[in-house]
Amino acid sequence: MSSSDLEKARERVTLLRREIDEHNYRYHVLDQPLIDDQSFDQLMRELQELEQKYPELQDPDSPTMRVGGEPLPAFEPLEHKVPMLGLDNAFNEQELHDFDGRVRRLTGLDRIEYLCELKMDGLAVSLQYENGIFMRGATRGDGYTGEDITQNLRTIRQIPLQLPEPVTLEARGEIYINRAAFLQLNRQREEQGLPVFANPRNAAAGSVRQLDPRLAAARPLRIFLYGLGEHNLDQNSQAGLLAYLDQLRLPVNPNYALCTGPDQVWEYCLKWQDKRHDLPYETDGIVIKVNRLELQKNLGSTARSPRWAIAFKYPPEEKATRVLDIRVNVGRTGAITPVAILEPVTLSGTTVQRASLHNEDFIAEKGVRIGDTVSVHKAGEIIPEILGVIKDKRTGDEKEFQMPRKCPSCSSDTFRLSGEAARRCLNPSCPAQLVEKLIHFASRRAMDIEGLGPALAEMLYREGLVEDVGDLYYLRSEQLTGLERIAEKSASNLVAAIEKSKGNPLRRLIFGLGINFVGEKAARLFAEKFGHLDRLRTAEEEKLISIPEIGPKIAEAVVNFFRMPETGTVLEKLEQAGVNFTEPVGPDREEESAHLAGKTFVFSGILEDYKREEAAALVEARGGKVSSSISKKTDYLVVGKEPGSKLDKARDLGVEILSEDRFKEVVRQ
């Protein structure tokens, strides 16, 4: 190897790193990517190859060095030179006026300028940069000593490993997870039989404190920076400081505002009271900071909190309602889930009428009875949840609920297996399970058979036309037209949709079969590893476990599934019908997972077929972004029923407007 080769490689590596950092910033911070994911991956691959070929060019600050690292036995303590204090709280307008009064008295000024910021509901961290290089990062801990989570922070692409200026400073901010990503993460965990996170904050905190950085890297963590610890910068206001952080390419929440006096501050708080629910992340209040840093310094801090700032906390959305009834659902795996039917209440803008009671232990723990008045909230502002019973409201007429000992669908005995919270119906021919299996098989994320929803699945089963998913492929449209509410046109549409699903890649089929604990991710791993269903079918447990991320529980479930005689019958029907059992490898996959890369979506109004979070998850799963407000950067506004002012704004800015049907096409493509 000649030295000029090395020099050429060095130049190329420098250029590639600069370019990749730039694209990372544009994609993860600005939300304005210039290139698609494939081109980005290509740059990364080229850099990786050069670094491998010329080890002398390796550098811990290279963008290739974000993921990886060995799991730690425990986190090391890291001391905060400047303590990370908490904030005092204000719960109403009067307490904000009191705060302003105190500040005015202590400073001797009669009008104070405040900088108001959204209070992110996440986890506080500090990032230390030395000469522009990211050196260390820590959690807040007890405010004086935190935990060194540097390895995990390095995996967050929004955090630059190198700043554009060689400054030494400690930036402080909040790690969080978007609501849609939280939902998706929980769905994945549920499928894998793992406990779900109660809310996005717990998900963020749990993720950033993972001892294995590879696991942390797989979590959709994000960050906003809002302040400084130790530094020697000569900024003179909080507003200037935020602008400076932004200039350093550190992500800053753009929704801050300068307010003069407590009335303007209150207006800002009111403005965000409802609007905050449209943001893709959770906020639990407003942080009000004296804008001038010199005044901040003069005001100083108590042992607990600075005198120059206060947090206005929105009242948690929690309401009382009555449990009208408790019903049970039988899921596709036979799990029997109790659900509380509630007197309708409005919470965070939508009407809530039911809340899952999970299992009998949950009911016992909360002591919920039919007729009880309960307090409900939305976990992560999304999932209705019963917080507890208001016992004072009991009249004595409440009825205790017993989980059914017989399956409500097929009347076989129900069992609680050891180590499980759920009571199950174990009858493989239970009608409720079979119908749920059909629904799952046809669902959007599985075989995506349009038009085959719960009502139709139920009818097909009831009419004896379909007993398992294999039978779907033998339906003829004449058989359907006779059925209740099915016109000729929709019968032929359904048959066509079923026909079309035959060509789906293997991972959709594996997911659709509804094997216990096999979610979309495991299904994809299996499809990629084996390429053909028959190879998965005959694989031994050890072989399955050898796939990274597949544990013994999933492996055992797969082996058991393929051992069942019923499975053999279904697979034979599918194969005879010509359903695809293979996985196209390579580019196909990337195309599907990223065809919306670089596109920003905004939603307005109520969608018929999706909850807002589900629609957002669809976009994000395909590489797109979802934003809460329209700007020139927006690519699509998706409008449902009763769209608001966003529609006018989109028209003004010439943003493409999509109906729900068009949205489905764009997402599916």
Just list the catalytic residues: 119
Residue nearest to ligand IVH (CB): 124
Nearer to ligand IVH, 153 or 456 (CB): 153
User: Which residue, 309 or 407, is less far from ligand IVH as judged by CB?
Assistant: 309
> Which is closer to ligand IVH, CB of 59 or CB of 88?
88
d(CA 489, CA 477): 9
Number of alpha carbons in the 13 Å side-chain half-sphere of residue 84? 27
CB of 256 to ligand IVH, least distance (A): 8
Residue 149 Cβ, how far from ligand IVH at the closest point, in Å?
Answer: 14
Q: Which is closer to ligand IVH, CB of 232 or CB of 302? A: 302
* Identity of the residue, 227 or 384, whose beta carbon is nearer to ligand IVH in the bound complex: 227
Q: Least distance in Å: CB of 390 to ligand IVH?
A: 29
CA-to-CA dists, residue 629 to 117, 180, 655, angstroms: 17, 16, 12
Long-range contacts of range 625-629, CB-CB < 8 Å, 24 or more positions apart? Answer: 625/31, 625/599, 625/600, 625/601, 626/180, 626/280, 626/600, 626/601, 626/602, 627/31, 627/280, 627/600, 627/601, 627/602, 628/278, 628/279, 628/280, 628/602, 629/278, 629/602
The CB-of-213 to ligand IVH minimum distance in angstroms stands at 22
Q: What is the dihedral of CA 35, 36, 38, 41, to 10 degrees?
A: 50
Minimum distance from CB of 87 to ligand IVH (Å)? Answer: 4
Residues of the shown chain interacting with ligand IVH in the complex, contacts defined by CB under 6 A: 85-87, 117, 119-120, 124, 140, 174, 226-227, 287, 306, 309, 311
Please answer whether residues 634 and 32 qualify as being in contact, where contact means their C-beta atoms are separated by less than 8 angstroms.
no
Minimal distance in Å, beta carbon 196 to ligand IVH?
23
Residue located via tokens 């200039």: 247
8 Å CB contact between 629 and 271 = no
Bridge partners (DSSP) of residue 373 are 322
Question: 435-467 burial by CB neighbour count: b if 16+ within 10 A, else e?
Answer: bbbbbbbbbebbbbbbebeeebbbbbbeeebbb
Do β-strands 636-639 and 600-604 pair in parallel, antiparallel, or remain unpaired? parallel
- Measure the CA–CA gap between 130 and 128, rounded to whole angstroms: 7
Cβ–Cβ < 8 Å for 204, 246: no
Q: Which helix (H) or strand (E) holds 288?
A: strand 283-290
Distance CA 162, CA 14 (A): 13
- Looking at the DSSP bridge assignments, the partners of residue 306 are 301
Cα pseudo-dihedral 369, 370, 375, 378, rounded to 10: 110
Minimum Å gap between C-beta 203 and ligand IVH is: 16
Q: Which residues contact 262 (CB under 8 A, 6 or more apart)?
A: 93, 96, 97, 99, 100
Nearest approach, Cβ of residue 126 and ligand IVH (Å):
10
From 215, 208, 205, select the one nearest 67 (Cα to Cα): 215
Which is nearer to ligand IVH, 85 or 425 (by Cβ)? 85
Q: How far is the CB of 239 from ligand IVH (least distance, A)?
A: 13
Which residue number, 213 or 285, has a Cβ lying nearer to ligand IVH?
A: 285
DSSP output for 397-452: --B-----SB-TTT--BEE--TT-SSEEE--TT-HHHHHHHHHHHHSTTTT--TT-
Q: Which CB sits closer to ligand IVH, 148 or 436?
A: 148
Q: Which helix (H) or strand (E) holds 578?
A: none
Q: For ligand IVH, give the closer residue by CB, 146 or 514.
A: 146
